[in-house]
Structure formats: structure tokens, C-alpha cells
Amino acid sequence: MSPAPTLVVLNGPNLNLLGEREPDVYGHETLADVEALCRTRTDELGWRLDFRQTNHEGVMIDAIHEVRASAVGLVVNAGGWTHTSVAIRDALAAVRAPVIEVHISDVHAREAFRHFSYITDVSDEVIVGRGVRGYAEAIDAVGERVREG
């Protein structure tokens, strides 16, 4: 029997502070709450969950490289790197599985510098402003793409 497919969720800088940092923007849920939500959804799909957070850009790039050919899908909240990192964009371009970009807040309703994303053009879908439930929606989006083949 083959191992269960693995969905990877990668979280970028400052997301370890969810629930503490700007709760009026990001809500009161913690990163542990987000992981629990993702685990519930992946369990329902019969998938394993690989859930990570880093404040170091090179670690994020290495993680993308590590899973680029093995993950059933990749959900990425690159945080501030969304608006600054060509290197993360280029790493995501090498991912074979569906890539879903997710943002807890509505980045388009915030500061002008948050309106541009380097990773949107290498993502299969973008989910913004749905709070932490956007992660569950992103996992569902991967599931739909996997079912469609």
C-alpha cells in the first residue's frame, strides 16, 4: 500500500505571532489553531499534513525545493515575502503540484505595497481576506484540482 499523499502548508514571516500581532487585522486564532484546522481538513481527505512556519527566506526556499516533486499540493502564505521575493516566486515555479496562495487579511484593502504579489502568477489560485478559514478553502482547492486530474 502506498503512503498517503502529503499536503504541505508553508507559512512565512511573523505568522508565528498569529493571535498576538494585529488581531484586528489577522484575528485571534493562533498558528496552532490554523494547523489544527488544516489537519482536520487533510484528515477528511485521507492526506498527511506537513505544516511549517519560518521567518527565514532561505529556509522557505529550501522547504519548497524539498517538497516540489512529492507534495499533492502546496498552500503558501508567504506573508511579507509575497510582495518582495522573486526567489520564492522562482522556487514555487518549480512545484509540480497545485500551488494555492493564501492570505488571512484582504491585502488589496491594505497598504499599497501589499497590492502586488510576486507569487500570484505561479499559483493556481489565490485566496485573500477569508481569515484562517482561507486555509481550509485552499486545501479544498487542491482537492478539487487533484480530483480533476
114: annotated binding-site residue? Answer: yes
Distance between CA 33 and CA 35 in Å, rounded? 5
Q: Report the half-sphere exposure of 60 (CA within 13 A, side-chain side).
A: 28
Active site residues: 26, 103
Q: Quick: pLDDT tens for 122-134.
A: 999 999 999 999 9
Residue with cell 520564492: 88
14: annotated binding-site residue? Answer: no
- 2's grid cell: 502506498
104: annotated binding-site residue? Answer: yes
**Beta pairing, strands 48-53 & 6-11:** parallel
What domains, with CATH codes, occur in the chain? 6-148 (3.40.50.9100)
Cβ atoms within 10 Å of 148's Cβ, excluding its own? 7
- Average pLDDT of the chain to the nearest whole number: 94
- This prediction's pTM: 0.94
Single-letter amino acid, residue 41? R
Q: Quick: pLDDT tens for 78-100.
A: 999 999 999 999 999 999 999 99
- Say which residue, 113 or 128, is predicted with more confidence: 128
**In the structure, what pLDDT confidence band is assigned to residue 113 with cuts at 50, 70 and 90?**
low
Q: What is the mean pLDDT of residues 129-147?
A: 97
Distance between CA 21 and CA 119 in Å, rounded? 24
Q: Quick: pLDDT tens for 44-75.
A: 999 999 999 999 999 999 999 999 999 999 99
